[in-house]
Amino acid sequence: MGYPDLCHVNQSQTSFSAHCFAGLAKPMGLVEGPGGLGQGGAAATLGEDSRESEGRYEDYGYNAQLSDRISLDRNIPDYRPKKCKQLTYSDDLPQISVVFIFVNEALSVILRSVHSVVNHTPAHLLKEIILVDDNSDSVELKFNLDHYVNKRYPGLVKIVRNSKREGLIRARIHGWNAATAPVVGFFDAHVEFNTGWAEPILTRVKEDHTRIILPAIDNIKYNTFEVQQYANAAHGYNWGLWCMYIIPPQDWLDKGDETAPIRTPAMIGCSFVVDREYFGEIGLLDPGMEVYGGENIELGMRVWQCGGSMEVLPCARVAHIERTKKPYNNDIDYYAKRNALRAAEVWMDEFKSHVYMAWNIPMNNPGVDFGDVSERVALRKKMNCKNFRWYLEHVYPEMRIYNNTITYGEVRNSKASGYCLDQGSEEDDRAILYPCHGMSSQVSVFSFFSNGPIISRDTGRCLEVEMSKDANFGLRLVVQRCSGQKWVIRNWIKHPRH
């Protein structure tokens, strides 16, 4: 099956092109050109007559049906800080290859990302667009996508197809392999670019090729496609290595210049730009990471520890759909955990214990196969990178360090070894005994030494276990005169400094 070949695209016949291109989008049920629903980034809804099916949310984590009705060329509000508009840039900036990775995204959403980057990037700076299809299932994303971009943007778009599902980390690496411009930008395939996004970024990379630059992120609402401005932020993370927005560093706030780059310890990950060769030299992303998560934090740690830097540029803005669910995998947490352990093992030295603690897993025999990290360890050695303590002090001083933790684990009694100290019901807020299960309510931080009594400092009495017919499991926790019972902490994590 083919589409009516309404016109042969001739770049010099611009007056014909709008007509020709409308002919390209329409048969696929899509809309091009100015105006229409969602124009100016306003919230949109489908009319009453149209059936809004929940199923599309399930498939995509956003309202794909609505997206189909919004023009691929819609404008969005210019959310740059005012002063950005007065800045001028050199004529001699490096070109960029823009990589979009996707698996089973809505065609209209991918194409809007493409249109948006073409519409908002000076043509002489945009060398190529690379679409990496991470083995999508949908037929629409094969024939229709190819057909459309080859006709609409002849010679500009390369499509890379993964023959098996690689996950977002290796998908980006495949995109990098295909890129030929001196600078490469990596983006999720559900973004819209703002006016003047590229120039400030290319300027910062040209000045210093060891800078990884993150556009400031705005939000595209998953249900209405409204574009909302986000506050200036750096990108941090917690000890589980889940990323989050954090307040910019104090010296940035003190300076009072909203156009200045914001130092950031890591990145959200949906949008970053880097010198192509430098990215190769420092080891791209960790190809041993699977599916989703952790790579964004790992790159932050690595670039800083190995002599480069990472920053958010408020004058360069990209809006991104925060989707309601990840349609490609039901166990994102597992992969985020697994990938976090890889980052911890390679980059975090003694602080890796914090990651195990955050995920509530023992350091010995964690029960998670995070693969072989030896090549990444060798990379760190080869580049002679700084340690994690240096990084925490200089780049992420806001991170809370749990210095006083001596040991972390579950507490068992010598008389009832299958039972662990646990939290009681919320109402009476008391400790109880419960069969050991290793989940968070039973593992906690203790500052007494293993294999001894638990004695109250005030009364000299001991926390012990007593048989009792009416108690749950026939055992009751009591505070009584010490009879010699011992408690054992099954160590999950022991801090090396103690």
Which positions touch Mn ion (CB under 5 A)?
188, 270
The listed partner (Mn ion, ligand UDP, none) that binds 41, CB under 5 to 8 Å by sort, is: none
Q: Does 218 bind ligand UDP (CB under 6 A)?
A: no
Q: How far is the CB of 438 from ligand UDP (least distance, A)?
A: 29
Q: Which partner, ligand UDP, Mn ion, none, binds residue 291 by CB below 5 to 8 Å per kind?
A: ligand UDP
Comparing CB distances to ligand UDP, the nearer of 132 and 348 is 132
Which of the ranges 99-107, 222-230, 368-376, 381-389 carries the binding residues for ligand UDP, by CB under 6 A? 99-107
Nearer to Mn ion, 70 or 463 (CB): 70
Could you say which of Mn ion, ligand UDP, none residue 165 binds, taking C-beta under 5 to 8 angstroms by partner kind?
Answer: ligand UDP
Give the nearer residue to ligand UDP in terms of CB position, either 320 or 412: 320
Part of the chain binding ligand UDP (CB under 6 A), chosen from 233-241, 309-317, 323-331, 396-404: 323-331
The item of Mn ion, ligand UDP, none sharing an interface with residue 103, based on CB under 5 to 8 Å by kind, is ligand UDP
In this chain, which stretch among 173-181, 193-201, 321-329, 488-496 interacts with ligand UDP, using CB under 6 A? Answer: 321-329
**Residue among 326, 386, 415, 494 that touches ligand UDP (CB under 6 A):** 326
The yes or no reply on residue 291 touching ligand UDP (CB under 6 A) is yes
Would you give the binding string for ligand UDP spanning residues 161-200, x where CB under 6 A is met?
Answer: ----x-xx--x----------------xx-----------
> Does residue number 272 form part of the binding site for ligand UDP (CB under 6 A)?
no
**Rounded distance between C-alpha atoms, residue 52 and residue 175, angstroms:** 35
> Which positions touch ligand UDP (CB under 6 A)?
101-103, 105, 134, 165, 167-168, 171, 188-189, 270, 291-292, 323, 326, 328
